Structure 1
Amino acid sequence: MLDLDNIVAIDIHTHAEGPCGTHTWEDGAELREGMKAYFKQDLWAPTIPEIADYYRQRKIALVIFQVDCEHHLGIRRYSNEEVARLANENSDIMIPFASIDPHKGKLGAREARRLVEEFGVQGFKFHPSQQGFYPHDRMAYPLYEAIQESGKPALFHTGQTGVGSGMRGGYGIKLEYSNPIHLDQVAIDFPDMKIVMAHPSFPWQEEALAVAQHKPNVYIDLSGWSPKYFPPILVRYANSLLKHKVLFGSDFPAITPDRWLADFEAIDIKPEVRPLILKENAIGLLGLRSR
């Protein structure tokens, strides 16, 4: 159980794509090489217990998930059940999310309900560009219905992605799927499902801000970019209209919380807004104080 008074922040966006030797790791080898070139580093691939220890040392709680892109990219997923089991073994610091490819239809919806009921999953991750779908495609609606019924949030990648960047044909990754404006319709059709738009949404930042400001169930996480590169309009909205709807996220292991937090200290965020972004907004989104 999280000790909310003892943690300094909640990282809403971290990845667990499976340790070396698993099928998901081997399937994704080609794509991973492209990402190493994009990020100009050999991406660290720790196990979930290692990630827990890393964050525990820093007194930062974290949301952790894998990405299910089996339909579009043919990469077998790392088990949602395994992610949840290991996260629950480290429940003093970890919060498990799941990822289900929406192409799985009613089967995916049944899985979502089971993961919440039997494994304590606290939210769901989507990556439209990797999963090959528009978020407002009704194909995904049975899964959204199950998520809305559960009361858990849904986190969507938005904007450009390092996945496939610079690779031939972008490795089949279509950027348009992750335009945040598509989530406007989802927010209308599922007004009781909390939606988190992940990342500064380059090149559609203003669309993301408009949707988050207009729809009360839509939030933004700040993962995937160093804060020193945040566009001024994002900083302005985070300090004002969206100060209760913006969340800290790192995109670990691509960006570490150490780097993100150090760069966050250097940008012009009001002192009274910093704790909202780093911790309090996530507590509200995830309903942590009510447990």
Structure 2
Amino acid sequence: MDFNKVRAIDIHTHAEEPCCGTRDDGYDDFQAGMAAYFKNPAGASGMLPSVQETAAYYRERNIAAVIFPVDAERETGFRRYSNDDVAQICAENDDILIPFASVDPWKGKMAVREARRLVAEYGIKGFKFHPTMQGFFPNDRMAYPLYEAIEEAGAIALFHTGQTGVGSGMPGGMGMRLKFSNPMHVDDVAVDFPDLGIILAHPSFPWQEEALSVAQHKPNVYIDLSGWSPKYFPDILIRYSNTLLKKKMLFGSDWPAITPDRWLADFENAAFRDEVRPLILKENARRLLNL
């Protein structure tokens, strides 16, 4: 990949399709709920893009994409998309895709072993955690051996923060507990693993100021701006993006729930300073990923 030529790096895209043929019970309802929340017709139709289709989409737009599955088998009962499958497809499309992985920290020693293997075999750049979907507080010590392995490998830990579209409007929120995704829980992780690159994913509603405070206070913490259209960003997020945290903010779409076409069009009309835009779109991610 020639990072001088791509026009942006999308730090937050999803490999959504299940790995094992037919979808699990409840998976269609889950995706339909997500589609309604994000107004995403692909999810509603059940025709979510494959990783290969994602690569083609991003290649056509000359945007690099960090892509990952989410391992939440324990909480959701949905079989995960194999990290190996995603990594292999990324290797076939290494001109445009950057591989992350996801390992449920509740898997303990198995999770640590898998993380180390993925980095060694595929050069995985980071790991996605979704505390609400995986049912854990990020500062739970049971996850610390996994963080240690990621830190030792020089990889990144990306944490979902704030409210989630997952389960929104479904009975009981599909069992999703929002409390797990308060970004202040990640502050402990940043203290205990100062050499671990950390990304707080999404505008962290209703804890936006907590996320900004953690990113401002901890040198190893960044924020990605995925999951929301920029036209809905709170004023305080844009203010910090333009000033104190201009080198900590990262472009992310949340593909396929939100497309980069939609995100970038709304970004053009949001109140970001001209000198800050290239930092958000590419340069901050390039530095964090050590590309």
Fold equivalence (TM over 0.5): yes
* CA apart distance, 1:72: 1.1
* CA apart distance, 1:41: 3.4
Aligned positions, number: 287
Q: Which residue of 1 aligns with 2:38?
A: 39
Counterparts of residues 175-254 of structure 1 (less than 5 Å):
175-254=178-257
Rounded to whole Å, the distance in 1 between the matches of 2:133 and 2:98 is 23
- Pairing 1:98–2:101 present: yes
Q: Structure 1: which amino acid aligns with 2:151?
A: Q
Q: Which residue of 1 aligns with 2:77?
A: 74
Does 152-161 or 25-34 show the bigger shift?
A: 25-34
* CA apart distance, 1:27: 5.8
Q: Structure 1: which amino acid aligns with 2:193?
A: F
| 1:49-78 per-position Cα deviation (integer Å, ceiling 9, x unaligned) | 111010000000000000000111111100
Q: Structure 2: which amino acid aligns with 1:181?
A: M
Question: Does the aligned pair in 2 maintain the 1:17–1:25 contact within 8 Å?
Answer: no
Structure 2 length-normalised TM: 0.96
Question: Does the aligned pair in 2 maintain the 1:103–1:139 contact within 8 Å?
Answer: yes
Q: Which residue of 1 aligns with 2:165?
A: 162
| 1:219-271 per-position Cα deviation (integer Å, ceiling 9, x unaligned) | 00000000000000000000011000100000000100001001001011111
- Pairing 1:13–2:16 present: no
Rounded to whole Å, the distance in 2 between the matches of 1:20 and 1:259 is 28
Determine helix, strand or coil for the equivalent of 1:97. Answer: strand
Determine helix, strand or coil for the equivalent of 2:203. Answer: coil
Structure 1 residues 216 and 23: alpha-carbon distance in aligned structure 2, compared to 1, 3 A threshold: farther
Question: Does the aligned pair in 2 maintain the 1:18–1:25 contact within 8 Å?
Answer: no
Rounded to whole Å, the distance in 1 between the matches of 2:146 and 2:26 is 25
* CA apart distance, 1:36: 2.5
Rounded to whole Å, the distance in 1 between the matches of 2:153 and 2:196 is 9
Counterparts of residues 261-276 of structure 1 (less than 5 Å):
261-276=264-279
| 1:81-140 per-position Cα deviation (integer Å, ceiling 9, x unaligned) | 000000111000000000000000111001000000011211100000000000000111
Q: Structure 2: which amino acid aligns with 1:47?
A: S
* CA apart distance, 1:25: 6.0
Question: Does the aligned pair in 1 maintain the 2:38–2:258 contact within 8 Å?
Answer: no
Structure 1 length-normalised TM: 0.96
CA RMSD of aligned residues (A): 1.3
Question: Does the aligned pair in 2 maintain the 1:100–1:112 contact within 8 Å?
Answer: yes
Q: Structure 1: which amino acid aligns with 2:40?
A: Q
Residue ranges of structure 1 left out of the alignment (5+ in a row): none
Q: Which aligned segments of 4 or more residues in structure 1 are displaced greater than 6 angstroms? A: none
Question: Does the aligned pair in 2 maintain the 1:19–1:46 contact within 8 Å?
Answer: no
| 1:143-167 per-position Cα deviation (integer Å, ceiling 9, x unaligned) | 1010000011110000000000111
Determine helix, strand or coil for the equivalent of 2:102. Answer: coil
Counterparts of residues 73-152 of structure 1 (less than 5 Å):
73-152=76-155
Q: Structure 1: which amino acid aligns with 2:37?
A: Y
Rounded to whole Å, the distance in 1 between the matches of 2:32 and 2:261 is 24
Q: Quote the sequence identity (%).
A: 67
Rounded to whole Å, the distance in 2 between the matches of 1:97 and 1:33 is 25
Counterparts of residues 60-71 of structure 1 (less than 5 Å):
60-71=63-74
